[in-house]
Amino acid sequence: MRDLVDELFAGEEAWVVGGALRDHALDRPIVDVDVACRDAQRAARRFAKHSDGAPFPLSERHGAWRVALEDGKTVDFTPLQGTIEDDLATRDFSINAIAERVGTDETVDPYNGYGDLAAKRIKAVRESVFEDDPLRLLRAVRLEDELPFDFRMIPETEELVRRHAHLVTRPAGERILAELRRLSPGGYRRLDSLGLLEPLGGAIDDRLDRWDSADYRLVAVFGGELRRLPVSNELRRFTSALIRAERPQDDPRSIHRFRRATEPWSLEALAFVGASELSPAIEEARSAEPEEPLLRGDELGLPPGPEIGRLLARIAEEQAAGTIASKEEALDYARRHSGAVREDS
């Protein structure tokens, strides 16, 4: 990405800025490149033409454009309104306020970003950084959490975070959720220690470390409060399955009922209720589950309605418990529990 940027825009006033330079200095994979230039739309379309990427406006308000590439990487183009120093003054932390002019070795580093990278420091560019964009409160913690070598906010920046913690709910829910998804358990604990978690509706308990997934951590920290954020329908269902789960007994019938209430997230739900020792029973029940049910609804001779579903569910439970093993036994059970089953089934 950087080579193509250099090839296309050398000789123009275009600068690679921010995260790509930071990650290159830290020998981290680069998944996105930010370019500040005079005509962001023209530059994005030109880059897309030569990279087979898809250009689209990223921010109508700020005039930024993004080119999405096939491998999931992106190149963003933002308008350079004044000097590059003016642009860097609007950024969040010194390690993101570095620029290199395209096609040259010229570097602009007015806030000693490279020095802070070497010292593993996260330092706000100015005192108003969190007032200008409160999402940076979460981003500061996420950078500590993601960057290698134990990066830490300097005391002055940490104090700014604490002082502005009440602003953490102001960004759009989508932006908040995107930052939260990237946090480890340690990142959530850092949010809590800085006073950022409680305003968002979260709390820490021992469930946080029981399962390693971003969605699980969201539910473990926020529970039903997670629905305040613009989560997907899938995540809503996942949340409901976990918070409604009740600890099962170690017997086939109880495991079956637990699976009915929580699949396909039964293992996560076991972790949530503190019963991970029953995971082998869940796995065994999954592997033993028949590919086809013993009976279909149209074999029961009942009029359409919820009674069919209830009866089939009870038959499936008896099969899981080992009291029913054949179609004939299932039909016999159905006859004993519903007089409407056909005698000639």
The pLDDT tens digits of the residues spanning 63-84 come to 899 999 988 899 999 999 899 9
pTM for the model stands at: 0.85
Looking at residue 340, its pLDDT comes to 44
Sheet arrangement for strand 74-79: 54-59, 64-68, 74-79, 32-37, 14-17, 99-101, 107-108
| 211-230 per-residue burial string, b: 16 or more CB within 10 A, e: under 16 | beeebbbbbbbbbeebeebe
Do 301 and 345 meet the contact criterion of CB atoms below 8 Å apart? yes
The 10s digit of each residue's pLDDT in 286-344 is: 988 877 776 676 666 666 767 777 777 777 777 777 777 777 776 777 777 775 444 44
CA 177 – CA 310 distance, rounded (Å): 38
Q: Is the pLDDT of residue 50 over 70?
A: yes
Q: Is the pLDDT of residue 345 over 60?
A: no
Do 152 and 120 meet the contact criterion of CB atoms below 8 Å apart? yes
Question: How far are the Cα atoms of 22, 55, 81 from residue 9, in angstroms, in the given order?
Answer: 21, 17, 17
Measured from the Cβ of residue 126, the count of other Cβ atoms closer than 10 Å reads 15
CA 338 – CA 318 distance, rounded (Å): 16
Q: Is the pLDDT of residue 209 over 60?
A: yes
* CA max distance for the chain: 89
Looking at residue 343, its pLDDT comes to 45
Spell out the alpha helix ranges (H) of the chain: 2-9, 19-25, 40-51, 84-88, 113-119, 129-132, 135-146, 155-163, 173-181, 185-193, 214-222, 233-243, 252-262, 266-272, 279-288, 306-321, 327-337
Mean pLDDT over 87-98 rounds to 96
Residues 6 or more apart whose CB falls under 8 angstroms from that of 149 comprise: 26, 120
CA 194 – CA 207 distance, rounded (Å): 20
Helix, strand, or coil (residue 153): strand
Looking at residue 174, its pLDDT comes to 95
Looking at residue 44, its pLDDT comes to 95
Looking at residue 322, its pLDDT comes to 74
CA 180 – CA 144 distance, rounded (Å): 13
Looking at residue 293, its pLDDT comes to 74
Question: How far are the Cα atoms of 124, 293, 322 from residue 325, in angstroms, in the given order?
Answer: 67, 11, 7
Q: Is the pLDDT of residue 13 over 60?
A: yes
The 10s digit of each residue's pLDDT in 172-195 is: 999 999 999 999 999 999 999 999
The 10s digit of each residue's pLDDT in 131-173 is: 999 999 999 999 999 998 899 999 999 999 999 999 999 999 9
Backbone phi and psi for residue 49, each to the nearest 5 degrees, phi listed first: -60, -40
Q: One-letter amino acid identity for 232?
A: S
Do 216 and 248 meet the contact criterion of CB atoms below 8 Å apart? no
Closest CA to 92 of 69, 106, 111: 111
Mean pLDDT over 82-89 rounds to 95
Look at the chain and count its residues.
345
Looking at residue 323, its pLDDT comes to 76
> Which range, of 81-95, 231-245, 262-276, 310-324, averages the lowest pLDDT?
310-324
Instruction: Map out the domains of the chain with their CATH numbers.
Output: 1-119 (3.30.460.10), 245-280 (no CATH), 297-337 (no CATH)
Q: Is the pLDDT of residue 210 over 70?
A: yes
Backbone phi and psi for residue 62, each to the nearest 5 degrees, phi listed first: -100, -5
